[in-house]
Amino acid sequence: MEADFVIVGAGSAGCAVAYRLAEAGQSVLVIEHGGTDAGPFIQMPAALSYPMNMARYDWGYSSEPEPHLGGRRLACPRGKVIGGSSSINGMVYVRGHAMDFDHWAETGADGWSYADVLPYFKRMETWNDAGHGGDPSWRGMDGPLHVMRGPRANPLFHAFVEAGRQAGYEVTDDYNGEKQEGFGPFEQTVYKGRRWSAANAYLRPALKHANCDLIRGLVERVVMKDGRATGVALAGGQVVTARREVILAASSINSPKILMLSGIGPAAHLAEHGIGVVADRPGVGANLQDHLEMYIQMASKQPITLYKHWNLASKAVIGAQWLFTGTGLGASNQFESCAFIRSQAGVPYPDIQYHFLPIAVRYDGKTAAEGHGFQAHVGPMRSPSRGAVTLRSADPGDAPVIRFNYMSTDEDWDDFRRCIRLTREIFAQDAFEPFVKHEIQPGAAAQSDADLDDVVREHAESAYHPCGTCRMGRHDDKHAVVDPQGRVIGVDALRVVDSSVFPRITNGNLNAPSIMTGEKMSDHILGRDPLARSNDMPWIHPEWEKSQR
C-alpha cells in the first residue's frame, strides 16, 4: 500500500494527473471512494439527469439554508464514482475565456495566464469537428479527451442562434477558439456515442501501465510527519504511504475538508473541533464560488420538442437504439446551441452564458406541466458573492458545512434581472415567432424588479460549478492555500490540483478547466518545464466600452 505518488480522488483533475505521471514511469496509486461507472445511466449522454440524482454515484451534498434565497437548501452534487463529477455532469465543454486566466495570473497565480494554459487545453483534447467550421488552429487534435458537437437536427437549435443574430449579437463558430463571444454550436465530451468522462479518457489508459493502480477507500486525513505529508489514512485504519507526494484531487468540497481534518486550515476553526494545527491557512475552505442560473421556459406552438419522447415507450426505443448502435437521441446531451454575451457596455468580455435545450425540464428530470416547450438556462458568470466550506465536526464521516452565500450583493440582483430581460428579448425575435406560444417561467406577469427578484429567490438553481476553496496565490498571500505549482503553502510533499485552486470562477462550465489544471499540474509535479506559451490573441469586441452587443 505505497507508491511514489498517492492521488486522492479519481475525478477530472485526478485522472489527468494519474495518466501523465504513469506515462512518465512514476509509481501511482489513485484512491477513490466511489465505485464503478459501468452501465447506461452514466455512459449514455442523454441519461445525464439520472446519475446526478442517484446516491450510488453522488456524495449527496446540499448547501446550508441560503439566506438570500428564502432559506432554500440547494443541491450540490459531486461525483462519487470513478471519473468523479465528469461521470455525472452535463458533458458540456467550455474552456473559459482568455481573460479569466489572465485574471488568475494578475491575482497571484503566476504562470497561469491564457498564454500559459492554452497549450494545455490543446494538449488534452482531440477535437472531432475539424471540417465543420470552427478554429482548428486553436484546437488540439491528438489528446485523450474527445470533444464533439451535437447534430443540431432540431430546428430550435438554429432558431436560438438566429434569434441572437437578429437581436444584434455576434455569432461565433467556435466559442472555444479565438472568439468566445456570440451565439453558436455547443460542444460536449462525447465519443462514439458515449460519455467521454475523465475515467474513459485518462484513468483507463493510465491503469494499463503496471506502475498505476486504483483502490477503493474513504480518505480521512493526510498523515503528516514533521511538517511533511507521508501518506493518507483511510477509514478502517489503513494507511497508504506516499514516498514522494500526496496529491489531493477530491473536489472543491472534499479537498478543503481533508486539509482541515489534517490540521491545515484556519487555526481558530480547527481548534473549535479539537484538531491540532499543522499549518494555519485561513484560506482553506474560503473563497467558495459557483454559478447560479434560471431556466427561462417557453411553451412551444409546434410539437417538435423532446417532450414527445418523455414517456416510457419512447425512452425504451431511444435506449435500445443507443445500446445497440451508440447512435440516436441517446448519443447527445441535447445541449447543442449556446451563447456567451456581455450584460452591458463597459464589460470587456462575456459575463452571461446560455445553455439552450429543446425541452422544458428541470435538472431532476421533472418536466414542465405545460407539455411541449424549450428553455434557455441563463446566469451571470462572475458573481461577487463568496461562500465557504467548513467542518461540521472532526468526524471524517460527517458531510462538511457548505455555505455558498448566493445573491449576497446588490450587483447579483442587478445582474440576474438583466439576464432575464435580455433572454426575453431573444425569445421575442422573429426567429422564434413560429415556435413561441407563451412564457412558462418566470411567466409574463413577472415584470417589475420586485417580481423578478421573487422569481430568482424561488427558482434560481446551482449550475453545479463549485470551485475556489484552496486558491492559488503567492507565498506571501496569507489567504492563498497553494502556490502556482499546487504545493500547499506551509507543508511539504502535499499538493492540491483540482478546481479548488481556481482563484476566480471561469466563464462557463468547469470540467474543461479542471482537467486542464490537472494536465498543467502534472508537469509541475514531474519538474518539467511548462509547455511553450502561446502567442494567439483572443477576439475582444472592438466596441465593448460603448456597446453591449
pLDDT band at 433 (very low <50, low <70, confident <90, very high): very high
The residue written with cell numbers 427561462 in the block is 296
CA atoms within 13 A on the CB side of 332: 18
Q: H-type helices in 9-130, by residue range?
A: 12-23, 40-43, 98-106, 114-124
Check residue 135 and give its pLDDT: 84
CA 281, CA 481: separation in Å to the nearest integer?
Answer: 6
Q: Does residue 130 surpass a pLDDT of 70?
A: no
For 213-230, the pLDDT digits (tens) are 999 999 999 999 999 999
pLDDT band at 49 (very low <50, low <70, confident <90, very high): confident
* Region 2-39+198-284+469-525: CATH code: 3.50.50.60
The answer to which of 202-206, 309-313, 502-506 has the lowest mean pLDDT is 309-313
Mean pLDDT calculated for residue range 522-528? 98
Check residue 52 and give its pLDDT: 87
How many residues in the chain?
549
Mean pLDDT calculated for residue range 232-251? 98
* CA distances for 528 relative to 19, 24, 520, 521, angstroms: 15, 11, 10, 10
Check residue 535 and give its pLDDT: 95
Cβ pair 483, 491 in contact under 8 A? no
Task: Say if pTM beats, i.e. exceeds, 0.95.
Answer: yes
Check residue 310 and give its pLDDT: 86
Q: Decide which of 3.30.410.40, 1.10.10.10, 3.40.50.150, 2.40.110.10 is the CATH code for 151-185+292-380+408-459.
A: 3.30.410.40
Note whether 2-39+198-284+469-525 and 151-185+292-380+408-459 share their fold. Answer: no
Cβ pair 187, 176 in contact under 8 A? yes
DSSP string, 302-347: SS-SGGGG-SHHHHHHHHHHHHHHS-SGGGS-S--EEEEE-SSTT-
Check residue 401 and give its pLDDT: 98
Instruction: Round the CA-based radius of gyration of the chain to a whole number and report it.
Output: 22
Query: What amino acid positions are annotated as catalytic residues?
Result: 465
Its sign, for the CA torsion 85, 283, 124, 188, is positive
pLDDT band at 15 (very low <50, low <70, confident <90, very high): very high
Nearest to 119 by CA among 485, 525, 512, 531: 531
More confident: 337 or 48: 337
Q: Does residue 131 surpass a pLDDT of 80?
A: no
Q: Would you kindly state where each structural domain of the chain is located, as residue ranges?
A: 2-39+198-284+469-525, 151-185+292-380+408-459
The answer to which of 80-84, 129-133, 329-333, 411-415 has the lowest mean pLDDT is 129-133
- β-bridge partners, 498: none
pLDDT band at 521 (very low <50, low <70, confident <90, very high): very high
CA 281, CA 276: separation in Å to the nearest integer?
Answer: 13
CA 107, CA 264: separation in Å to the nearest integer?
Answer: 23
Which residues lie below 8 Å from residue 525, measured CB to CB, with a gap of 6+?
5, 17, 21, 245, 247, 486, 495, 497
Mean pLDDT calculated for residue range 25-48? 95
Residue 237 cell numbers, joined: 485504519
Cβ pair 501, 469 in contact under 8 A? no
Burial of 357 (0-12, 13-18, 19+ CB in 10 A): buried
CA 227, CA 434: separation in Å to the nearest integer?
Answer: 66
- β-bridge partners, 387: 288
Question: Looking at this protein, which amino acid is placed at residue 25?
Answer: G
Q: Mean pLDDT in the chain? A: 96
- β-bridge partners, 66: 72
Share of the chain above pLDDT 70, in %: 99
For 152-193, the pLDDT digits (tens) are 999 999 999 999 999 999 999 999 999 999 999 999 999 999
